[in-house]
Structure 1
């Protein structure tokens, strides 16, 4: 294992926040030249770091701690009535776990998803090069979960294998299949996959209060949040957690 105290970190200049209008963001990156194995990456995940392409990062914003790492204890997860309904709706889908791929089939689904659902985001306009650097290029044990209705690809969930579970990197799906709630179904399948491996946690990324794109993570209970360096099981809606310090 790498001595994490000897790692070098680099901070970006301030830039407009992608999640909270009117705020400035700053990001802390692990030295991209560092040779991080699975144990290193797993430890960094417990410290609130995430992966995007070859980069390991976490928010480092002055005066704001709105981005709070969230993880789910899968052995204690119990689906809600809505989540059970979504499971029933998607009973006809198969799931295959494969190595990362930028096949035309997978890329075309990604292109449609970004173009129709995230035209206002950093990933628009999509390109094969951007897709590859974001989701395929990885020094970690990355897997693609392919969701199909017979041969038709409906969704892809990208996950990283950690020593203590899975890290949910990104999910994209057919934007015309709204009734299926494929984003929710993909998370439910990631929870099941983590449990099948006998591992305790699914890391959901950052929960951001008052951000519609990120608030959904508290729908999976019991959720644990990384607060002041400690993982705490809380209900964020009544926790009194303040994102601004």
Structure 2
């Protein structure tokens, strides 16, 4: 099994990642814009010599293939560069925000499981009933709506109609109180959780219907065992 996984990683996963990185790197160089303008801001007076010095410091004076190989080598060593906003290493920025991301992901997963599992069971037990049709339509809508659009709709709804119930901006650390922390995470977790709910509910329903159609269930029903 381990050999199979390693073989799949070497023949599928790594080449796919490499291809995606080449594609994105090429697209970033193809889109209009100048890195120096982004770095220092548009409209700032700067001499051509200074521009060349900045480009040389970031390796942008090299050919694009050389730039890619330089970037790939840094990534493999764990050097993801520096943030344009703060100037700190990107890896350090990611590690700094990782606990919040993990907390948000766990909260979103909890919401998804709490809603999807009961709903999937009910939809399977009431197959083709109103609740099943509504659940399937809702799951289709949930899968179709992007997370950023769902988040925007939730912000608008809670800003206009349920003011003060949940904050639409900001984050409260856990050390400042559990309730305040969960309130600040609720809307983004709900936005992520609704998309996961749709997928988990569909899988739960299909899996349960498959089990309910097996022979041992038919025999149990024939013997008078209640649902």
TM-score, normalization by structure 1: 0.22
Which structure is richer in relative contact order (CA contacts within 8 A, separation 6 or more)?
1
Between structure 1 and structure 2, the one with the greater Rg is 2
